A and B are shown apart, each in its own frame.
Chain A
Amino acid sequence: MTAVAAEPRVEAPPLGALRWRPSRAQLIGAGALALVAAFPAVLPNRDFAFFVGAYASVYAMIGLSVVVVTGYAGLCALMPYSFAGIGAMVTGLSMASWGWPFWLAVPLAAVATVPVALLVGVASVRLKGLYLAIATLTLANALGETFFRWGAVTGGSAGWTVTRPTAGPVDFGSDAAFYVLTLGSVLLLVWMVHGLRSARTGRAMVAVRDNEVEAQALGINVYKTKLVTLLIGGMLAGVGGAFLAALQVAPTAEPFRSPISEATSFLLVATVAIGGVDRALGAFIGAVALVVQQQVFAGAEFFYPFFGIYTGLLLIVLLKFRPGGLLQIARMQGEMIRTRPAVGIPVTAGVLGLNVGLAYLILRLS
């Protein structure tokens, strides 16, 4: 066949492309990450900032399940927070009631989500699009009225008392230490979910999302792929729930019942969509953005009621113009800085400055 399309877009990668060598963009990314990670340390209310940072990391863990289920496989399962709740309650039960260490409670929290994940997986084969969304909302509600009202599992209205873990001589009891632990854990999970995308299973998920019929014609078992997707998603959220329990120290089942559970699940999905739903890093960026915005608005009493409106508007604008979310914007700015530094650097600096200025203004005005 002769040349048909205009121009080849990408050069062939060298044969060693699978071997990892950090590129300049990756180094810049790592530097930016280090800055964000160290940011709570320079804030005036440091311990609170570490607590909030750990919250962001836990949100990112649960958000990773949204990346796998909705981002990779395109399934509208709207109950990530219910899966996290299962993880949190099982962690509380096993640690407070059975005396298990945190490190054993985490895998148990992951495994505990399996029955519900299988149920949603089977449903996802029969129900497409919004029908699956409705079914999962109903299931979240049902779990809230049954599982999360079951005293033996939830510890009743008092909840459970969970001690944060230690590892040998290292005690993760303080907010600062626990922040470091959750941040490290979520980055490990981001790395794992990222690896899934460029491998057999992740590619099958995207194939099923893009075109179920063609996926079958290429020998992919759609049924199995959807089940595996929900299982992995459930486990990620379950692990997030385990860290949530340890973060809160005294977790109760209250937030996993209607309507807080559904609202939080929606917020999580929106958060991940803002960060970038089809990349593992998107969950992390979205969670950081959410928590920063939340704190800015929370610091401004007058503006706090507008937080939901603001998040909704941001989501709509991003989905319309930048469906890849903040991650796509960051990548495009990076590209612009590289190819046209004279335009890219001032534009990027301007956008960042505008955001910081707005945040400052909101905090000042209230």
Chain B
Amino acid sequence: MNAPVLLRTDELSLRFGGIAALDGVDLAVRPREIVGILGPNGAGKSTLFNVISGFLRPDAGRVELLDHDVTDLLPFERVAAGIGRTFQHLRLFRSLTVEENLLVAQHRHLQSGPFASMLRLPGHRRDEREARARVEEVLELVDLTPWRGSRPTELSYGTLRFLELACVLSLKPRVVLLDEPASGIAQREVEALGPLLQRVRDEWGLSVLLIEHDMPLLLSVSDWVYALDFGRVIAEGAPDDVVEKDAVLESYLGRTRREPAAARGRKRAADAPA
């Protein structure tokens, strides 16, 4: 665990009125690591994502990427720095096709300005060719090639989740924050998600910060898990260790005492309310 830290939060705090949404959160993500975050509703998980990606300003504390302070950067500047994210509720461009959604995600890799495009200058043509080639690759990665011309309204929720994932991966981020990617999608898609995340980590060298209520998925893909409650980190460690800690059981699984050894671990976690 001595690898350099890719993403670090340092004593992040944020209050909404009298409620401490984040209360001194320290967290570290290393290169090529999938880090899971678990915690009950209202624990501050999504707020943490909003602060890391720049949609919320913390009252105190810092967000660091590769030892650079990015706390003052705007969301689009953090994308350029290498932080990509998805949202708990789907946000896609409804009037654009699947292919165009992915082309929008290529925005920061392209250079041509409006006048070059209006006059179809060579720079614009080269840009469009490269962008479309990259979109082809991403379409293939998430198996969406047949739906490239469809609009989001014509596709199932699960397919859209994968499109959203494809969009954020198109940014070529260093670390990607996924907010409940498995919520509301079919079981067989959930089962495809874990291997996809591991493939992205191994082949693209990406780090993933994952909020997920699907415990089997979270525990099986994560290299490290943080448990949050009331805006505080109440436990961290290897997945199987964290779910056995009393504090986690109490806050998240609603139990106060350990059960017999036979029922422990993933099997028990699978029964947790999603």
Contact = CB atoms under 8 A, between A and B. Distances in A.
A309 to B, nearest CB: 31
A10 interface: yes
A10 B150 contact: yes
B117 A199 contact: yes
State which size class the interface on B falls in.
35 or more
A192 interface: yes
A200 B127 contact: yes
Interface string A197-218: 0111111101101110111111
Interface of A is mostly: helix
Interface in B115-148: 117-120, 124-125, 127-129, 131-132, 142-143, 145-148
B75, B112, B143: residue with the most chain A Cβ atoms closer than 10 Å:
B75
Given A206-B96, A207-B104, A4 B75 contact: no
Contacts of B131: 200
B76 A18 contact: no
Interface in A70-121: none
B267 interface: no
Contacts, number: 143
B264 interface: no
A168 interface: no
A138 B96 CA distance: 33
B104 A203 contact: yes
A228 B116 CA distance: 14
B92 interface: yes
B18 interface: no
Nearest to B78: A219
B123 to A, nearest CB: 10
A5 B155 contact: yes
Given A196-B118, A203-B103, A213 B55 contact: yes
Contacts of A220: 76, 104, 107-108
Contacts of A10: 148-150
A246 to B, nearest CB: 23
Nearest to B75: A216
Given A4-B189, A9-B147, A200 B107 contact: yes
B183 to A, nearest CB: 16
Interface stretch (B59-67, B79-87, B211-219, B221-229): B79-87
A8 interface: yes
Nearest to A74: B95
B144 to A, nearest CB: 8
B85 A217 contact: yes
A204 B108 CA distance: 10
A18 B103 contact: no
Contacts of A206: 93, 95-96, 100, 104
Contacts of B74: 216
A211 B93 contact: yes
A292 B15 CA distance: 61
B20 interface: no
Interface stretch (B32-40, B156-164, B235-243, B245-253): B156-164
Contacts of B55: 213, 216
Contacts of B159: 1, 4-5
B210 interface: no
B158 A199 contact: no
Contacts of B53: 217
A174 interface: no
B200 to A, nearest CB: 14
B93 A192 contact: no
**The 9 A-B residue pairs with the shortest CB-CB distance in the complex, in nearest-first order:** A10-B149, A199-B117, A8-B146, A219-B79, A192-B118, A214-B91, A210-B93, A219-B108, A201-B114
Interface of B: 53, 55, 74-76, 79-80, 84-87, 91-96, 100, 103-105, 107-108, 110-114, 117-120, 124-125, 127-129, 131-132, 142-143, 145-150, 154-156, 158-159, 162, 167-168, 171, 186, 188-189, 192
Given A195-B120, A216-B76, 9 more contacts: A1-B189, A4-B158, A199-B112, A199-B114, A200-B113, A218-B105, A218-B107, A219-B108, A278-B95
7 contacts: A9-B149, A202-B117, A206-B104, A215-B93, A218-B79, A218-B104, A219-B76
